[in-house]
Amino acid sequence: MNRALPLALGVGVVPALGVYALVSSVPTALGTAAVYVGAAYFYFAFDISLLAAAPRFDDRSDRLGYGVGLFGLSVTPILFAQSAGGDATVFGFMIAFFGAVAFLTLSEQARRRRGGGE
């Protein structure tokens, strides 16, 4: 039996409980759980890491675009939380946001590993 899905479900519970404690919204907590379950599934099923090598771009403008995008992804949640005055809802959003980035990163690595092409 594939153990990745039960392990991923267990991982998804932790951020869901954290978001529910901050926001007290079941749909928001379930949505966050779904994002983390998806990310954890790819992590366990394909033995890949978020710290794996970043994509390589040959064109200078591609590298610049990638760098600007990474900078935006890294500072936006922090700036959003600061501008909102540290409201608990914002921290719930940050948890879900980081999970979304992890999901997209891991699912793309899994697609490449499975042979989906470059």
Residue range 48-65, pLDDT digits in tens: 877 766 566 677 777 777
Res 108 pLDDT > 50: yes
Confidence of residue 13 (pLDDT cuts 50, 70, 90): very high
Cα 117 to Cα 19, 76, 107, 108, 109, distances in angstroms: 36, 31, 13, 10, 10
Residue 56 DSSP one-character state: -
Q: What is the dihedral of CA 11, 37, 21, 97, to 10 degrees?
A: 120
What does the pLDDT read at residue 111? 79
Q: What is the pTM of this model?
A: 0.70
Confidence of residue 10 (pLDDT cuts 50, 70, 90): very high
55 or 101, which is more confident: 101
What does the pLDDT read at residue 31? 87
Are 17 and 29 a contacting pair, CB within 8 Å? yes
Are 101 and 54 a contacting pair, CB within 8 Å? no
pLDDT tens-place string over residues 30-39: 888 998 898 8
Confidence of residue 94 (pLDDT cuts 50, 70, 90): confident
Res 43 pLDDT > 60: yes
Q: Determine the Cα angle at 68 with ends 63 and 72, to 5°.
A: 145
